[in-house]
Chain A
């Protein structure tokens, strides 16, 4: 099974169509119940028909090692950097918190990202200005006691329980600085597409991104936060079109 060690952590990493040349695609999953399976069993095989695709489980997720700390977006962007150091500039496809990490990576590793596809980015709840002196809004606010209880009660979520009980993940998220409009303007540096679920609590994210970056392509599909799973066919078609466009642009611009 493909494991690699980076930043003193053992990561589970899978590559599809590894022999394919051209712009690779790195697909990032979300937190808690997310794993690389959410892409491997949905859009990744179709994208791999034309692109080299790299998938990995974030630390503490899927089959990667669960470390005590290191779950903030900046730290995870460092993980992404280490896990893609052998790749030429690539496209990022992120779901949920994977989008935030991808954005932080884009901001700090300019030139390494060729395009960004954000699926259900959780950017709506940090849209409000932070009152002076108030603590910055953190992701912990999203995890209500009822949601945490539901996660713990789910028998398939033993990994989630492990994260909640044995790591600093929630504290790391709470300490995470909000994504500002200035941060979002980084998305204008590369071709960018946002896909949202009409029934998702994060649906306003698309409106916010497009207000800040009017050239971003946006699509709202029927579905919720897990639109990449429940609406896999539609999401895959949009991603394939967006990522496939890279070939003609490469041909045009050399």
Chain B
């Protein structure tokens, strides 16, 4: 399994924790899945996901900084893959620096 797949799997797992397994039943989450249109994520659920990411990855992932330059529409219509790529970039950078 590649690193990206690992991060994607972890994001999916955190999404399940946020919205519940039943809600995502029969829905395959890929990098092209959007948070708003495909997952119907509410904004407060997006915040909950951000908090879980922060807890999972610690200071390596600064979600608030990541979205600071986006408007709320950009945030909510973001693809899962965009978030995964950001996490991958940040964790790779942290590993290189360390």
Contacts and interface: CB of A to CB of B under 8 A. Distances in A.
A229 B72 contact: yes
Interface stretch (B1-9, B26-34, B60-68, B82-90): B60-68
A39 B36 CA distance: 18
Nearest to B63: A45
Given A2-B51, A36-B47, A57-B44, A233 B71 contact: yes
B79 interface: no
B71 A37 contact: no
A40 B47 contact: yes
Contacts of A45: 64-65, 67-68
Contacts of B75: 41
A37 B52 contact: no
B51 A16 contact: no
Nearest to B49: A1
Given A1-B52, A156-B42, A37 B47 contact: yes
A44 interface: yes
Given A36-B44, A57-B44, A232-B72, A41 B51 contact: no
Contacts, number: 50
A46 B55 CA distance: 21
A46 B71 CA distance: 12
A42 B64 contact: no
Contacts of B40: 156
Interface in A200-242: 229, 232-233
A198 interface: no
A41 B68 contact: no
Contact of A14 (B43, B47, B72, B76): B47
Contacts of A42: 71-72
Interface in A54-95: 57, 62-63
A63 B64 contact: no
A37 B65 CA distance: 15
A85 to B, nearest CB: 22
A48 interface: yes
Contacts of A96: none
Interface of B: 40, 42-44, 46-48, 50-52, 55, 64-65, 67-68, 71-72, 75-76
4 smallest CB-CB distances across A and B, nearest first, come from A37-B43, A45-B68, A45-B64, A35-B44
Interface of A: 1-2, 14, 16, 35-38, 40-42, 44-46, 48-49, 57, 62-63, 156, 229, 232-233
Given A1-B52, A41-B46, A156-B42, 11 more contacts: A1-B51, A14-B47, A16-B64, A37-B43, A41-B76, A45-B65, A45-B67, A49-B68, A63-B44, A63-B48, A232-B71
19 contacts: A1-B48, A1-B52, A14-B51, A16-B64, A35-B43, A37-B42, A40-B47, A40-B50, A41-B43, A41-B47, A41-B76, A42-B72, A44-B64, A45-B64, A45-B65, A45-B67, A45-B68, A48-B64, A232-B71
